[in-house]
Chains A and B, each alone.
Chain A
Amino acid sequence: MDAKILERCMDRIQGGEATLEDCLRDYPDQAPVLELVLRAAALTRDALAPPGPTEAFRASSEARVLNLMRARLAKMHPAMRNWSPIRGRLLKWQPAYRLVSASLAVALIAGTAGVAYASGEALPGDSLYGVKRGVEQAALVLSPRSAWDARLQLAFAGKRLEEVEALVELGRAADLGAALDSYEAALAAALELGGTDQQALERLGAALDQHEEALARVMEKAPERAKPAISEALERSRQGKKAVEQVQQGEHPSESAPGQLTKTPDAEKQKREPPKAKDRTPGPPATLTPGTY
């Protein structure tokens, strides 16, 4: 059987210009083998042809993908550009954050997704916490514009602080690190995407005031070993507020501005370690002698 004849027949059949029988008639000398091969091809295609993307996916996916791309390209106000030590990290596509399907998000809205509803109170370290974060990500997926993404991220930052307060109340200091990390990431995203119009800045400023109050409350109640991490989050929140105020006043914070956060060399790659127990044992004597301790 001639490979060109096979290709020609496949093209005609796939293009709807001819049937298999037409091809066998056109090439009677090759018909016996041609028929077997074309039927095997048809069988394989019918059995394995995958469905195309659903309309729901097609519609939501394009918006989601383009939003992520816009966020990546968004020109941050110079004040914000120098503020965020972890800019870019959040905007990297994170396959590990599995997006809950739009249908689940819709089900949540309709109040029929019991699991999603039950996950609403989950805290870092709880089994349903992943579901809760997945539902939040679905909301980001469905948000039509980056401005709405910014408001969502701000809301998420607030939720993370609520979780931090709850964890402190429950004495679960070991889970605080992850919650504080997530708070800083959400805050950074909100600042990156939030725009520089007056309304957006006022919203940011008000939220940051609340964040500072919440973190101060947490600081009072948290165990000692957790305080350095909380202090760092509090400092970031304050610096964010300062940057917002300066932008509102038409100023451009410089690298040398007092209190301006300095990006440390590997800040984007550092992961926060769980707060370690503060070592309260006295330091060793200046000269070490075996058996002294």
Chain B
Amino acid sequence: MGETETSAVSDADLIARARHGQVESFGELYRRYLDPIYRYVRMRVNAESDAEDLCETVFLRAFEALDRYEERGHPFSAYLYQVARNLLVDHYRRQPASVGLEEADHIEELDSNPDTVVLRREQVRGISQALEQLPEDYREVIRLRVVLELPNATVAAWMERSPGAVRVLLHRALKALREGLSEGAD
């Protein structure tokens, strides 16, 4: 982000201004967190259109509930993440057929070479199957820390754990994933 006046303002200040009707302040929050929230949601659903709708709904829900939001020591992005997770649960309930948590349909977007596409699909399938065997918290820390490359502190805030706990969780999750990939290859 550029060095604008609003980009130097804390989330807490922006939230306070938004609560007083300054919609543009919430717009700044939107710009700050659109990417990670969108990418998290996009990773969790099949269709781009679903990701776009859900992403917007995350921010609108957060705005609607702004009066009830309390920081409690967690960043605003952690709150958005929780809203996103709740919306995803509702989404899967409404559209169970679309649940393909790691079956991304955007592979063709990345490469039009048919051989590469086939190889990548196989790769994705193998990794997805290995992930599916893991406990949910292992999968989630891999999604956030490895796939989305979020910093440990952010992942800790989002998962409501200490940074040390996330570090250990990631260690265990990656070891388990590696074992699963090895078994899949055999």
Contacts and interface: CB of A to CB of B under 8 A. Distances in A.
A53 B61 contact: no
Interface in B152-176: 152, 167-168, 170-171, 174-175
* Chain A facing B: main interface SS: helix
B60 A65 contact: yes
A48 interface: yes
A53 B152 contact: no
Given A6-B171, A11-B152, A41-B146, A47 B124 contact: yes
A91 to B, nearest CB: 10
Contacts of B24: 66
Among A1, A58, A64, A69, max chain B CB count under 10 A is at A69
Given A14-B149, A51-B106, A93-B61, A36 B178 contact: yes
A45 B39 CA distance: 13
A1 B52 CA distance: 40
B60 A45 contact: no
Interface residues of B, number: 56
Contact of A61 (B52, B102, B127, B142): B52
B71 interface: no
A69 B23 contact: yes
A252 to B, nearest CB: 22
Nearest to A93: B60
B4 interface: no
Contacts of A41: 142, 146, 174, 177
B38 A3 contact: no
Nearest to A38: B174
A48 B43 contact: yes
Contacts of A93: 56-57, 60-61, 64
A62 B181 contact: no
Contacts of B104: 48, 50
B56 A64 contact: yes
Interface string A93-112: 10100110100000000000
Interface in A155-197: none
B39 A50 contact: yes
Interface residues of A, number: 41
A57 B37 CA distance: 14
B177 to A, nearest CB: 5
Given A7-B152, A40-B181, A57 B52 contact: yes
A70 B27 CA distance: 11
A73 interface: yes
A48 B147 contact: yes
B147 A49 contact: yes
B186 interface: no
Contacts of A54: 48
Contacts of B30: 62, 65-66
A290 interface: no
A4 B124 CA distance: 28
A58 B174 CA distance: 33
Given A51-B42, A99-B53, A45 B177 contact: no
B63 interface: yes
A18 interface: no
B27 A62 contact: yes
7 contacts: A50-B43, A65-B30, A66-B30, A69-B26, A70-B23, A98-B53, A101-B52
Interface of A: 1, 3-4, 6-7, 10-11, 14, 36-37, 40-41, 43-45, 47-54, 57-58, 61-62, 64-66, 68-70, 72-73, 92-93, 95, 98-99, 101
Interface of B: 21, 23-24, 26-27, 30-31, 34-35, 38-39, 42-43, 48-49, 51-57, 59-61, 63-64, 102, 104, 106, 109-110, 120, 123-124, 127-128, 131, 142-143, 145-149, 151-152, 167-168, 170-171, 174-175, 177-178, 181
Given A64-B56, A73-B21, A93-B61, 9 more contacts: A3-B167, A6-B174, A40-B181, A47-B127, A50-B106, A53-B34, A61-B55, A69-B63, A72-B64
